[in-house]
Amino acid sequence: MSVDLANDYAQQAIADALSQFCAERYTEEGRREGADFPRDLWRELGLLGVLALGTPEGEGGACEGVAALEALGAGLFPGPLAATFFATQVLPEAERARVSRGEWIVALGEPPLLPFAALADCHLAVVGDKLLRVEPSSVEALETLGGEPWGRVEFSGGHGLEATPRAWALHDLALAAYGAAAGLALVAVTAEHARSRVQFGKPIGDFQAVAHPLADARVRLDAAATLARVAAHAWDTDAPDLRAHAAAARLSAARAGLDAAHTCHQLFGALGITLEGPVFRFSRRLRQLASGAPGEAGARAALLAQRGLS
């Protein structure tokens, strides 16, 4: 079979089911400023099998994971998704099952700041090139720009785990698939605005000053979304440079998502800077994804190594 970037039947079924899940269950009430993390929905996600994708028990690999994450990204579904996929690759079997069933929340980060630290049942600290399972002695709860419940943690010691290239690759491609889809959803919302908002007697999307930046955003996000698919295929086939593929996808989605967010804030005019406007809930998530996730240095190193620069 030659190139075919579309979802297959099963992947599309996953995407459709999760789009519906987001629309019906992750409602305005859950999205409001200051809402608690929807732990019940996270558990449901686990029961649906989404968090087990890429594990021996899961009914699908990274390609199915991408289909799922795109739907969750377009719906801005909250939670430590990439961290959870990572954890399923590094934890022992019994703990992996608790994570993939949505019973445990995972905190993965570079201490002292850990995302979801106050809620988490499993804390994974990236220290240099080491990965430690830690038990925090204290957690100071923090809010972040992205509206996520983070924490400043103190711990001593910790139990070493092996962070394999496959684990990082799954983490990075999950970030990419989610982020690219969130960005594309924001571009779609903004394009709708540009088609309907009339100024100077015509829709503002008729002006190249509006249309071209949005076109650029779309072009780059499409590329990032495709890179997530390339990375997922590399992961599923255990390609030798799978980490570099995922790194490219992650870094591409981060940059494309941020650039799109800034473009869309601008194109919405005053609506772009109000809390009730549609942009901020996307842009804060995209900003959070771009710099809140661990492992960027390793991702860049993998990309350079792929090109002979070690």
Partner 1 sequence: MNPAFSPEEEAFRAEVRDFLADYRDLDAFFLQGHRWERVRAFFAALAERGWLSLGWPVEAGGGGKPLSFEFILWDEVAYARAARNPLASGIVAKTIARHGDASQRERWLPPIRRGEIHFSLAYSEPEAGSDLAGLRCRAQRRGDAYVVDGQKCWQSYAQDMDYLWTLVRTGEAGSRGRGLSLLIVDKHSPGVTVRPLPTLDGDQLNEVFFDGAVVPVEQRIGPENGAWALMGEALADERHIQFPPGRVRRDLEEVIDWTRARGLESDPRVRHTLSELAVRVAEVEASALRVVDAMLRGASGAVEAAANKVIHTVVCQEIARAALDFGGPDALVAGERVELLWRQSLWETIGGGTSEVMRGVVARQGLGLGGRG
**Any contact of residue 300 with partner 1 (CB under 8 A)?**
yes
User: To which residue do tokens 């929807």 refer?
Assistant: 38
Q: Which of 229, 243, 265, 287 binds partner 1 (CB under 8 A)?
A: 229
Both tokens of 44, joined, read: 């449901």
Q: How far apart are CA 288 and CA 282, in angstroms?
A: 10
Cβ 263 vs Cβ 244: under 8 Å: no
Return the range that interacts with partner 1 (CB under 8 A); candidates 22-30, 48-56, 209-217, 277-285: 209-217
**Any contact of residue 59 with partner 1 (CB under 8 A)?**
no
Cβ 95 vs Cβ 188: under 8 Å: no
**Min dist. Cβ of residue 56 to partner 1 (A):** 21
**Any contact of residue 242 with partner 1 (CB under 8 A)?**
no
**Any contact of residue 267 with partner 1 (CB under 8 A)?**
no
Q: Which of 123, 171, 233, 285 binds partner 1 (CB under 8 A)?
A: 233
Q: How far apart are CA 189 and CA 195, in angstroms?
A: 10
**Any contact of residue 232 with partner 1 (CB under 8 A)?**
yes
Sign of CA dihedral 216, 221, 224, 230: negative
Q: Which of 117, 122, 131, 227 binds partner 1 (CB under 8 A)?
A: 227
**Min dist. Cβ of residue 218 to partner 1 (A):** 6
Residues 6+ apart with CB under 8 A from 174: 65, 69, 81, 82, 85, 86
Return the range that interacts with partner 1 (CB under 8 A); candidates 120-128, 150-158, 167-175, 246-254: 246-254
If the CB atoms of residues 132 and 211 are measured against partner 1, the closer one turns out to be 211
Q: How far apart are CA 191 and CA 180, in angstroms?
A: 16
**Any contact of residue 263 with partner 1 (CB under 8 A)?**
no
If the CB atoms of residues 120 and 246 are measured against partner 1, the closer one turns out to be 246
Query: Which of the residues 104 through 133 are near partner 1 (CB under 8 A)?
Result: none
**Any contact of residue 271 with partner 1 (CB under 8 A)?**
no
- Tell me, residue by residue from 1 to 20, as one string, x for binding to partner 1 by CB under 8 A and - for no binding: xxxxxxxx--x---------
At 98 the three-state DSSP class reads helix
**Min dist. Cβ of residue 66 to partner 1 (A):** 7
Closest CA to 181 of 221, 231, 232: 221
Q: Which of 82, 224, 279, 286 binds partner 1 (CB under 8 A)?
A: 224
Indicate the burial class of 112 (C-beta count within 10 angstroms; 0-12, 13-18, 19 or more).
Answer: middle
Q: How far apart are CA 229 and CA 170, in angstroms?
A: 11
Q: Which of 145, 198, 199, 207 binds partner 1 (CB under 8 A)?
A: 207
Cβ 234 vs Cβ 245: under 8 Å: yes
**Any contact of residue 261 with partner 1 (CB under 8 A)?**
no
Indicate the burial class of 157 (C-beta count within 10 angstroms; 0-12, 13-18, 19 or more).
Answer: exposed
Q: Under the rule (CB under 8 A), what is the footprint of partner 1?
A: 1-8, 11, 63, 66-67, 187, 191, 194-195, 202-203, 205-208, 210-212, 214-216, 218-220, 222-224, 226-227, 229-230, 232-233, 237, 245, 248-249, 251-252, 255, 300, 303-304, 306-309
